[in-house]
Structure 1
C-alpha cells in the first residue's frame, strides 16, 4: 500500500525566492522540517542563501550531497521564516503533499460500525473506502470524525479512529477504483485539503504535522 509524502522542489525554490533567502540563513534542521535536509539545503544554496542551519548529525549527509562546508552551520542564528520557506504561512505554495490510495470499497449499512472500537456507527446506508495512510505514516490519530480527504475532486470524511497504516473514509455514491489517489493534504489551489485543517482539528501546528509526516511516510522529492 502506497503512502507518499511528495516534496516539490519547485515550490521550495519559489518560496525561498519570495521569502528573501538570498544572502540569508535557511533552517534545514529536523531533516528539513520533514521535507528532507538535502533537498532543502540544495534549494537554499541554489537560491543564494548564505548558509544552511543543520543538525550536527546531518552535516556529513549534506557534505556527501555536495553542499560545501562554507554553506553549513549548526550554530543558533536568525533564519528565514521556515513557515514561508515550506509554504505554511498561508501565502506561499505548500512544498509537501501527502497521498495514499484506495485499497478497497464496501457497503456500510445503517447501524454498522467501523474502525477500532466501532467509534463511528453509520446513521444511514452508505459506502466506505479503506485507504492507505495511518498514524504509522504521520496521519494524526485524532483526525477521525474531524477531517476529510479528497479523492478525484470529492471530499470524503475520515470515519472512526485512524489505524496504524490505514483509515476509513465515507464515499457515498461515488465509485472509486483500487489504487485511486487519496489526498490527505497538499496545495488547496490544486483541490487538496490544507494541512491547516489538520492543525485546526488536532491543536498541533502545521509545522509539527508536516515534520511528523515527512519523517514517517515514504518521501519523494521532485
Structure 2
C-alpha cells in the first residue's frame, strides 16, 4: 500500500506564505487540490485568507459554498501553488515543508549476487553482492515507470536507489548493508528528511512538472491527513 500523508500544519504554513506574497487572492484547487484533497485544502486556504478557490466545475463550487467558502471555475488563480503546497523548484529548493509526504512499506529483503538481474527485463544487474528491499508503490499508484533506476527511496533516514523497472504495485531498492526490517517505512518524497525535495528529481527524470506529479500520486494513493 502506498499512502500520501498530507500535513495540515505544513499546508497552513504554505497557505500563509502564498497569501503574504500575493495578498488575499484566488488559490488553485483544481484536480482535487493538486492531489492533496479539495475540501480540507479549501478550509485551510480560506483560513489563511485566500479570497476564493479555483476549482474544476460547478459541482465543486456548490460543495464549497455549502461550507461558506467562495469558489470559482472561471477566475484565474493568482496565489503561487509552489508556496501553497510546499513544492520544490527545478534546483530542488523548497519554500517550506512540503504539505505531502508519499510513503510505502518494505515488504521483504533478500541478498543478491553480483551480476544478478533485478525486476522485469533485467535492465539492472547488481554490480556487486548486495541486498534488496521490495517496497510498496508502483506505476499504478503514480510511481512513474521512467523512475526505474533513476530515483530513490528513504528508509530509516538513509537514501537507497531504486533499481530495475518499476512494477505495477512495487519497486525494488538496493539497500546495501543497511539494516532494514520488513514493515519499515519508505519515503519517496516530502517530509523533512533527505528526500524532502525528491519531486525535483522526479520532474527532471520524467519531464513532467512537480504539480503534475504530486497531483497524479495524490489521487492514486490512500490519502490521510496528519497534524
The 1-side partners of 2:52 and 2:145 are apart by 37
Q: Distance in 1 between matches of 2:77 and 2:159?
A: 40
Alpha-carbon distance in 2 for matches of 1:206, 1:108: 34
Query: Paired residue for 1:62?
Result: 64
TM-superposed CA distance for 1:190, in Å, is 2.9
Q: Distance in 2 between matches of 1:34 and 1:79?
A: 19
Match of 2:103 among 99, 102, 115: 99
**Alpha-carbon distance in structure 2 between the residues aligned to 1:88 and 1:191:** 15
Show the 5 A alignment for 1:130-141. 130-141=134-145
Aligned-residue CA RMSD in angstroms?
1.6
Structure 1 match to 2:91: none
TM (normalized to structure 1)? Answer: 0.92
Match of 1:164 among 165, 168, 176: 168
CA-to-partner distance for each residue in 1:156-198, whole Å, 9 max, x for gaps? 10001101100000011112111100010013x4333421121
Conservation of the 8 A alpha-carbon contact between 1:99 and 1:184: yes
Unaligned runs of 5+ in 1: none
Distance 1:27 1:193, change over 3 A: closer
Quote the residue 2:44 is aligned against: 43
What SS does the corresponding residue of 1:159 show, helix, strand or coil? coil
8 Å Cα contact 1:110-1:121 kept in structure 2: yes
Matched, 1:153 2:152: no
Q: Deviations over 1:99-156 (max 9, x none)?
A: 0010000011112111111111112111000000011111111111111111001111
Moved beyond 6 Å, runs of 4+: none
SS in 1 for 2:149: coil
Structure 1 residue 59: Cα displacement: 3.3
Q: Which runs of 5+ in 2 are unaligned?
A: 89-93
Secondary structure at the counterpart of residue 190 of structure 1: coil
What is the match of residue 12 of structure 2?
A: 13
8 A contact 1:150–1:193 mirrored in 2: no
The number of aligned residues is 217
| Whole-Å separation in 1 of the counterparts to 2:133 and 2:77 | 46
